[in-house]
Each structure stands twice: as C-alpha cells, then as structure tokens.
Structure 1
Amino acid sequence: MTADIATDETQRLIASNKVEGTAVYNREGEKLGSIYNFMVDKESGKVEYAVLQFGGFLGLGSDYYPLPWDVLTYDVSVGGYAVGLDKAVLEKAPRYAASEEPAFDRDYGRQVYGYYGMNYPF
C-alpha cells in the first residue's frame, strides 16, 4: 500500500494551477494583483515571466505585466508572492491589454528585464 502523495504542492515544488491566481503584494503588504499565468521556456523548462494581472475591476479592464520570475519571492506570511515594487513603478512597467498580447520574443524579453534592471538570460 502506497501513501497518498500531494501532487499539487511539495516542500519545493508547486503545480502551475496553484500559482495562477495567487496574490502578489508589495513589501508594505499592499495587494498589487494576482498571477494570471506564467511563461516557461520550452527548451530549458525555466519560468521566464510571471504575468501579473493588475488594475481594473473584477478582472475587467485590467492590464497584464510580465515580471521576471526572479523579482518574486513567495511569502508564507501572506500566502502569496512579494515584490519589491510599489504601484508607481509598476504602473510605468511594460504591460499589455488582453487584446494586445506581445510577441514574447527576445527583444521584448530584453525590454522587460531591462526595466527591472536585470539581464535577459534567455
């Protein structure tokens, strides 16, 4: 008889469906939005972006902000991700509307990572 094993979350790993919808807070504990989805490099399997859904009301009229995965830190005390960004910085960040999804090519990646002062590693 084998023990039941949770397949959606372990000490180190979490299933993608549990990440989507997770709240994102700034360091002051203010909720900025939630993870809409994340983009994974097909070859390396590494997460390139977490896409933050921010603004609007009840998801209507909100924009999508690709964040380099490394700007997120999981904070167990709030049960969500924390970022060292305030709303003013986020409001000027690269973003797109649902009807205008970007190409997510290398040029776009350099733009997003550069905004956050990071080198584009892909």
Structure 2
Amino acid sequence: MADTLARDETHRLISSEKVEGTKVYNPQNEKLGTIANVMIDKRSGNSEYAVMEFGGLFGLGSDRYPIPWDMLTYDVDKGGYVVDIAKEKLTGAPRYARDDTPEYTDEYGRTIYGYYGLSYPML
C-alpha cells in the first residue's frame, strides 16, 4: 500500500489516473457525476478544467461538462471533489456528447467561465 501511495498520490499531489473516475458532489452531498478527464495547460502545467460526466445510466447517454478546476475542492472524508453547483444549474451548462470533444479555444473557455460567473484567466 505505501509503495502504491508513493507513486500515484502524496499528501499534496495526485496522479491524473487517480483523478479520473473520482466522484463529484455538491455541498448538499448529492453526487453530480464523476471526473472523466482533466484538461491541463501545456505551458503552465496547471489544471484548467475537470471534465465531469453527468447523466445517463452506467455511462450511456451521459454528457461531459467542463468545469473550471478552481471551482472544485477535494474532500478527504468523501474521497471526492465538491463543487458548489446545483444539479438544476447543470441542465443549462456548457456540455458535449461523450464522443464529440470540442476544441478548447479561448472563446469556448470564456463561455464556460462566464456560465459559472467567473472571469476567464488571461494567460
């Protein structure tokens, strides 16, 4: 166990393969979905989006919702991330079908950040 922990998780860092599949909750402890993947800025190395899979049954009919990474907080007790988004807000959120990944342009980023009331970071 200690050997596995040392390779893919420390007190402060976690491997991307462990993030994928992690559950996402809202503050009311409702499960919203799971992390499908993480979008990372090539130059800075910062995580920019957590792409959450939501809806459907067993991954069928589910969509993917990019959420600004800074909106998520890891909760050790839940073993997952918490994001202050009501399920109802997700129904109108920017999303895409599982097999239809958009181009993550600055314009698309401004749409995502704007939907959640955030300023798009100027890198």
Q: Give the TM-score, by structure 2 length.
A: 0.93
Please give the per-residue CA displacement for 1:63-88, whole angstroms capped at 9, x wherever unaligned. 00000001100011111000111100
Letter in 2 for 1:110: R
The residue aligned with 2:86 is 86
**Separation of aligned partners in 2, 1:120 and 1:44:** 16
Q: Deviations over 1:39-69 (max 9, x none)?
A: 0010111111000000000001100000000
Match of 1:17 in 2: 17
Tell me the number of residue pairs that the alignment of Structure 1 and Structure 2 aligns: 120
Letter in 1 for 2:17: N
Alpha-carbon distance in structure 2 between the residues aligned to 1:114 and 1:78? 28
Aligned to 1:106: 106
Alpha-carbon distance, 1:100 to partner: 2.1
1:23-102 residue pairs with structure 2 within 5 A? Answer: 23-102=23-102
| 1: CA distance, partners of 2:6 / 2:78 | 22
Paired letter, 2:44? S
**Aligned-partner residue type, residue 27 of structure 1:** P
Q: Percent identity?
A: 61
5+ long unaligned stretches in structure 1: none
Cα distance in 2, alignment partners of residues 85 and 116 from structure 1? 9
Structure 1 runs, 4 residues or longer, greater than 6 Å off: none
* Distance (whole Å) between structure 2 residues aligned to residue 33 and residue 14 of structure 1: 19
Where does structure 2 lack aligned partners over 5 or more consecutive residues?
A: none
Aligned equivalents of 2:76, 2:92: Cα separation in 1: 28
Describe the SS at the equivalent of 2:119. Answer: coil
Letter in 2 for 1:117: G
Q: In the TM superposition, what is the alpha-carbon distance from 1:7 to its structure 2 partner?
A: 1.4
Q: Give the Cα–Cα distance (whole angstroms) in 2 for the partners of residues 45 and 28 of structure 1.
A: 32
Report the RMSD for the aligned CA atoms in angstroms: 1.3
The one-letter code of the counterpart of 1:21 is G
